[in-house]
Amino acid sequence: MANKAQEQKWQAQDDAYTMARYQEIMADKARASRAIKVAKQQASNMRKQADVMTKVANTKSAAVRRTSKKK
């Protein structure tokens, strides 16, 4: 149990630092704007990658196609 309590203490400390950094970033309008711009670009890149992965996931492999044709 002491291990769980220690983990929760560490998490609370980390969360407090994260929240403080968020406040610092949001107080600096230029910095916040740059961060938002980068987040939008990264989200766009992730969507593109997800689209490609979806196409791959929906592709039948050659082995599956051969098996299907034999039926």
For residue 66, the model assigns a pLDDT of 64
For residue 60, the model assigns a pLDDT of 87
Domain span at 49: 2-70
Q: How many domains does the chain fold into?
A: 1
For residue 28, the model assigns a pLDDT of 98
For residue 22, the model assigns a pLDDT of 98
Digit-by-digit pLDDT tens for the chain (71 residues) are: 689 999 999 999 999 999 999 999 999 999 999 999 999 999 999 999 999 999 999 998 866 666 666 65
DSSP labels, 34-63: HHHHHHHHHHHHHHHHHHHHHHHHTSPPHH
